[in-house]
């Protein structure tokens, strides 16, 4: 019986630790490419990239690839859009 309780407690602790270390990105975890295109696309930030020490989230790999092709321009567009909404 003790083994079952221990296994349950261990699984709960691991789930909590995973949730506590989830990636948090700029723009409230909205897709950075979406922001650059003037759209709000919520993400879980599992697809992300670090640029100049900041983490940016993406809705999918294609959005990340497109964003990274012209990071400077896309960051400027995303920043402008995000600031207009917040």
Where are any strands of DSSP class E within the chain?
A: 47-51, 54-58
Number of domains in the chain: 1
State pTM to two decimals: 0.74
In the structure encoding, which two tokens stand for residue 60, read together? Answer: 């999918």
Question: Would 37 be classed as within a structural domain?
Answer: yes
**What pLDDT shows up at residue 23?**
86
Domain membership of residue 46 as a residue range: 23-85
Question: Would 65 be classed as within a structural domain?
Answer: yes
Segment 33-83, tens digit of pLDDT: 999 999 999 999 999 999 999 999 999 999 999 999 999 999 999 999 999
Which residues does 36 contact at the CB level (< 8 Å), separation at least 6? 67, 73, 74, 75, 77, 78, 81
Backbone angles phi, psi at 60, to 5 degrees: -160, 175
Question: Would 11 be classed as within a structural domain?
Answer: no
């Amino acid at each position: 019986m003790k083994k079952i309780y221990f296994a349950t407690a261990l699984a709960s602790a691991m789930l909590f630790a995973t949730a506590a270390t989830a990636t948090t990105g700029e723009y409230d975890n909205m897709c950075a490419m979406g922001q650059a295109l003037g759209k709000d696309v919520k993400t879980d930030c599992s697809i992300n990239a670090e640029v100049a020490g900041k983490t940016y989230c993406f809705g999918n790999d294609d959005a990340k690839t497109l964003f990274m092709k012209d990071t400077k321009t896309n960051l400027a567009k995303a920043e402008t859009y995000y600031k207009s909404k917040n």
